[in-house]
Amino acid sequence: MTRAALLAVVVVMVLTLPAPSSAQEAPQLDFEFFRTRVEPIFLAKRKGLARCYACHGQGTPFRLQPLQAGSMSWNESDSRRNFEATLRLVVPGNPAASRLLTMPLAADAGGVAFHPGGKHWSSQDAPEWQTLAAWVRGAK
């Protein structure tokens, strides 16, 4: 086989390889998972700490929508706004690079050194941290 023929065979083989799997691509983050599993974390009471919503419902760059008077959750329209605001704090597929997960996580567990609202989780094994990580990884 001549070099030109061999090169042609190699080129054809490369061009017909399957496209990279979607597992290598960043996942699309699921709104329903966000609404039913992530948003409740923003409202959860924690002993000795404020709820996420207490600070992030006002005056911070990550701003959650105000709750309607007497409501314990957001309506769909406000949840969509919260979803969009939260997307700015995550790297889909990569919880360790997502500020949503690293800001409230203890530094010795992989978090950043300072979060004005305190450290909500001392470990990546914390159930709330695991829920957020699952969403960032693309859970539905």
Distance CA 85, CA 33 (A): 15
Q: Is residue 14 part of a domain?
A: no
pTM: predicted TM-score of the whole model, two decimal places:
0.81
Q: Is residue 109 part of a domain?
A: yes
Distances (CA, A) of 87 to 24, 43, 82, 136: 19, 18, 9, 9
- What is the residue type of 6? L
Buried b / exposed e over 82-92, threshold 16 CB at 10 Å, is bbeebeeebeb
Please check the confidence at residue 39 and state whether its pLDDT lies above 60.
Answer: yes
Containing structural domain, residue 95: 28-64+90-140
55-71, pLDDT tens digit by residue?
999 989 999 999 999 99
Buried b / exposed e over 119-132, threshold 16 CB at 10 Å, is bbbeebebebbebb
Q: Is residue 132 part of a domain?
A: yes
132 beta partners: none
Top mean pLDDT of 5-9, 22-26, 33-37 is at 33-37
pLDDT value of residue 10: 37
Tokens of 9: 């065979």
| DSSP symbol at 119 | -
Count of the separate structural domains present in the chain: 1
84-139, pLDDT tens digit by residue?
999 999 999 999 999 999 999 999 999 999 999 999 999 999 999 999 999 999 99
Q: Is residue 37 part of a domain?
A: yes
pLDDT value of residue 25: 83
Distance CA 18, CA 58 (A): 48
Distance CA 29, CA 137 (A): 8
Q: Is residue 21 part of a domain?
A: no
pLDDT value of residue 28: 96
